[in-house]
Every structure is written in C-alpha cells, then in structure tokens.
Amino acid sequence: MARQQSTLQTTLRDRVVVSGIGVHSGSAVSMILNPAEADTGIVFQRTDTSGSVSVAISATIQHLHATDSCTTIASMGLSVATIEHLLATFNGLGIDNVVVEIDGAEVPMMDGSAEAFVALVDQTGIMTLPAKRRAIKVLKPIRVEQGSAFAELLPHDGRRFEIEIDFESPLIGRQAFVVDLTPSAFRRDLARARTFGFMRDVEFYWSRGLALGSSLDNTVVLGEDRVLNPEGLRFADEFVRHKALDAVGDLALAGAPVIGCYRSYRGGHRLNAKIVETLLADPEAWTFVDNAASVRRGPIRAEMPVRLEAAAFGPDKS
C-alpha cells in the first residue's frame, strides 16, 4: 500500500537558482525557486519587466492562457510558458508553496524531463509548515472527449494516473502506463521521462515560432525508422511515461492535490487542462478534504476564459 503523504503543507528549505534554455523560445532564462508561506501555492513572478508593479501569476486553472505544445499561464499581459515539468515536480514530490522568480517568459527545458528539478529540490530540501494541507477529492466521474480521445477523473482512494497513448509511428505505437503517485514513484517512474517529437515536424514548429531551442540534448527526436538520440531511450515506454509526467504537472492547475483516478487516452495538455476546468466547475463533483475532514465548496470560477488553442494530438513538444 502506498505511504500516505503528510497532512501538513510544505515548502523548500532555502532558495535555489537554476538556468537553462527555453525549448520553444531558444532564449536563455534563469529562475530562483523561493520558499513560501503556507497557502501561497505555486506562484510565478516575472523579474524581467520594467516598472515598479510586480505581477504574480498563480499556477492555477484561473490563469491558464494556452495549451499549444506546452502549458502557459498569464496575468495582466505577462505569461510564463512550459511550466508543466516544474509543476509536476512540485506536485509529485508533495511541495505546496513556492515562489518562482523567472527572468523570461518560459521555464528552462533542462534535459526535457523533470530530473533536474528533482535534483534542485534535493539540493535545498523540503520543509514542513504548521498548516494543514487541503486536497481536492473527486466525488463522481467527470469526462471530456475530443474525437476518439478522452480524459476522465474517477473517485479513488489515492492519486492514480492511468495514461494511454496511440501513435501511428511504429516507434511508439500504443502504450499504457499506470502509477499511484507518491514521491518515490514520481522519482522512480516519471521524473526522468523526456519530451519527444518527430524530426519531420521541425519545420512546422519553426514556422510557428516554436521548438527554437529544441535539440537532442532536451528532446527525444524520432526519425522515420529510429530514435536519433545516440543514447537511446531511458525507458522502453518513455513516451507514455512522459505523457504521465505532463499530466501530473497539468493537474496541479487544480491548485491542490487531486485525490482520484485520472485516465486519459490520446490526451495532452489540452485535455489535461479541460478536465481540471470541468471538475472544478461542477460543485457536486468534488470536495475539499482537510486532514480527513470534508468541507463542501462552491465551484472555482476562472477569471478569464480558458484558451485551448492547439490540436491536442499532434507530435508532442511538451
């Protein structure tokens, strides 16, 4: 049986700095991950803007801006893109409160996985705060569909992810992966799974101003008949594991750990975000649980319409 996570909120023990390249922008970017007080949540703060007003962007569904090839949040005209792997790290390791200072519009891609972010957390450590952690418990099935693809949340006593992908490429094909999310399972089964894409789609992405920083150092690149990365794959099913990693990050947009079973077939950022929006919009579908005590809450309403701009099932550069 999976070990219960702490019922108290957490944050980082100390600040930690990281730099890298944005996979879509190709620009250098630096971040400082700062400890934060209880009930802060995960907040991004752009430090490269002029003026005295500091804009904090909470990583919640209320601030979702786009899901084209990555997950982007925005507020007051400022955005931060490609947040999913960092959010997955916080969600997977049970970290509730962090202020992320960032001097650009995109989180650095690192090696295309969450491994470097896990190492940063290990470098500084996790601190427990004197405040109870509040989770969102799924009370009834919620489902969204697009064509043959679907995503659903089901009542479940735990945090389970059941992810299935189905690509025409013989290098990927149909893969399924199931994980009961705990910090140890996240580290072992998900954190090292890298983003992937097809070499044939590079010009399409470039024409849209995307994947400008993509390389064999941060992406599993697929040719017509082989993986082009000299080191090969980290897992035989690295592709579906990465989709599960993305789902862990995107479901963090709920603003609290989700207790339930998340299933998706041919999903991606778009459906991951849509299931969070759909769940929180139905007050009968969920409740807050606080140290085993349940309290009914009304729906969380978005401050802006959720923009889901891109096709969900093209080659993944997330």
Report the pLDDT value the prediction gives residue 206, as an integer from 0 to 100. Answer: 79
- Round to whole Å and give the CA distance between 167 and 144: 20
HEC secondary structure over 31-80: EEEEECCCCCCEEEEECCCCCCCCCEEECCHHHEEECCCCCEEEECCEEE
Cβ atoms 250, 71 nearer than 8 A: yes
Report the pLDDT value the prediction gives residue 54, as an integer from 0 to 100. Answer: 73
Strands (E), the chain: 8-12, 16-21, 28-35, 42-46, 56-58, 64-66, 72-75, 78-80, 98-102, 126-132, 134-138, 142-146, 149-154, 159-166, 174-180, 196-198, 220-222, 258-265, 286-290, 293-295
- Round to whole Å and give the CA distance between 292 and 310: 39
53 CB-near residues (< 8 Å, 6+ apart): none
Which residues are part of a known binding site? Answer: 85, 242, 246
188 CB-near residues (< 8 Å, 6+ apart): none
The pair of structure tokens assigned to 260 is 């339930």
- Round to whole Å and give the CA distance between 100 and 88: 14
pLDDT truncated to tens, each residue of the chain (318 aa)? 344 457 999 999 999 999 999 998 899 999 999 999 999 999 999 999 876 567 899 999 999 999 988 999 999 999 999 999 999 999 999 999 999 999 999 999 999 999 999 999 999 999 999 999 999 999 999 999 999 999 999 999 999 999 999 999 999 999 999 999 999 999 999 999 999 999 998 878 878 888 899 999 999 999 999 999 999 999 999 999 999 999 999 999 999 999 999 999 999 999 999 999 999 999 999 999 985 444 444 434 333 333 333 322 233 444
Which residues are part of a known binding site for Zn(2+)? Answer: 85, 242, 246
Report the pLDDT value the prediction gives residue 291, as an integer from 0 to 100. Answer: 52
Report the pLDDT value the prediction gives residue 5, as an integer from 0 to 100. Answer: 55
- Round to whole Å and give the CA distance between 188 and 185: 5
What domains sit in the chain, N to C, each tagged with a CATH number?
A: 8-295 (3.30.1700.10)
The overall pTM is greater than 0.85: yes
Active site residues: 269
Cβ atoms 60, 253 nearer than 8 A: yes
